[in-house]
Structure 1
């Protein structure tokens, strides 16, 4: 007990050093990346552009179909941010949500073709195609991929995989097409998620409950170390914003990842599927990517 003769020191809560980006919903993630006061949402919840297919299967819709499209500015330059909401259907891509992303990128492309550069950012937080709208979802993911490839000829397309859902399925291919892909340690990136791998190949192949192993194989840190992502960013809204801004300052890369097919195929040819470890994959990609870069230098 504190007394006048023996006062106890006051206890103060430690100040929060970081503003978690992962904990933000999609709308606030988009707002965090845009210049203060410039956020303007397109086709928001009050427009009620929602899936016509989910009610037929007894699933309650979300008024924005789990996708936020925001216009604004980044460093004073026009920008568009497409943010996927993981809290709705695991961030799955259906006809409406996918069409919103594709249309936003296509609008940015038209502006760029007219000489008005628009900075595009996609916040990937998705398990891939929405199974209830499989064919429609796959078709619109193809449209997203085509729009990214067309747009990146004019301006960098920046993708962010923050966590905790990660980025899987067809949308992992869309992420790979981005000019720059930013990830956190908590983010995961892969064609198939660990639960799908365990279900289809057995727990001997991968125990989806072994979180340490999963992140060693497909976590953000590993993806950067194996050249499948470009920059590791702390889970901090200011850090993510700074990394996005820096990517646009870099400009369009000399060669996108998808334009380095021969390099990646030569690396894959050296992989022994029976003895894959996170460390030997890092060593393989480090030597292969650096070796290819050195050969290109005059």
Structure 2
């Protein structure tokens, strides 16, 4: 074994997968040691009032963990979505927890407390069982991101295979910075929805290599839709957060470069299905 191979094996053995952690453990891993303090934890029993009416077992935190603490010794709040509960879908309670935490962080900033925010996004979007209530909650989250990012960076992290879709995909696009791993997927409509509406010939939801080649973290980064592409390692992701927060707010949020992105869509030839290389060629260039 060469020295390079030995070093790679050593790094692999020493790494700690972020994807394999639950939402609560992810938040704890990113905050400074000893600073984690959960708000509305499971013992508060704040659950969805709508799921039991449909015969669905609730979860005591409604699939969202909100934690206060510090990142690099600066005040921070982390909202982590548990992708293992109802596909990380957003309902009334979980959505209110995220929106409320961002709104309070904005209030902190107005009061001279420079509170940062991190969103750990593992979500398919709105919870269908809560329909309009979930949509309203997502709209409040989006508005709160836009408000807070005027004061401090709001960083979204998409790490696992649940990905980030639907209205929360729009929320991800509103973040000051977006971080993704190779395992992540980011989009508006999920593969099964596209297949259902456009047909399997257009989009085969079972073709995992094809799906990741278009919506996976590596492709989204190469297309300029993600700011940082990192390994599935808790230390690497925490280090990336420190680096991005040290950069401060971006000169122009991605969502305000809409004219450039709309032109890319206008330039796309929809007569033939684009492959991964075609998408990269379309999006690469000066995105200012």
TM-score, normalised to structure 1, is 0.91
* Greater mean deviation of Cα atoms: 101-110 or 271-280: 271-280
**How many residue pairs are counted as aligned between the two chains?**
278
Structure 2: runs of 5 or more not aligned: 1-8
Moved over 4 A (4+): none
The DSSP-based 3-state class of the residue aligned with 2:53 is helix
Of residues 98, 102, 120 in structure 1, which corresponds to 2:99? 102
The DSSP-based 3-state class of the residue aligned with 1:269 is helix
Q: Deviations over 1:12-61 (max 9, x none)?
A: x9882310000000000000000000000000000000000000000000
The DSSP-based 3-state class of the residue aligned with 1:16 is helix
Q: Report the alpha carbon displacement of residue 285 of structure 1 after superposing the two structures with TM.
A: 1.2
CA distance in 1, matches of 2:131, 2:244: 33
Alignment match, 1:278? 276
Residue 248, structure 1, aligned to residue 245, structure 2:
yes
Bigger radius of gyration, 1 or 2? 1
CA distance in 2, matches of 1:231, 1:49: 34
Q: Report the alpha carbon displacement of residue 199 of structure 1 after superposing the two structures with TM.
A: 1.6
The DSSP-based 3-state class of the residue aligned with 1:254 is coil
Q: Report the alpha carbon displacement of residue 252 of structure 1 after superposing the two structures with TM.
A: 0.3
CA distance in 1, matches of 2:107, 2:201: 49
The DSSP-based 3-state class of the residue aligned with 2:77 is strand
Alignment match, 2:6? none
CA distance in 2, matches of 1:42, 1:242: 24
Q: Report the alpha carbon displacement of residue 62 of structure 1 after superposing the two structures with TM.
A: 0.3
Structure 1: runs of 5 or more not aligned: 1-12, 294-298
Alignment match, 2:234? 237
CA distance in 2, matches of 1:32, 1:195: 32
The DSSP-based 3-state class of the residue aligned with 1:87 is coil
Alignment match, 2:152? 155
The DSSP-based 3-state class of the residue aligned with 1:267 is helix
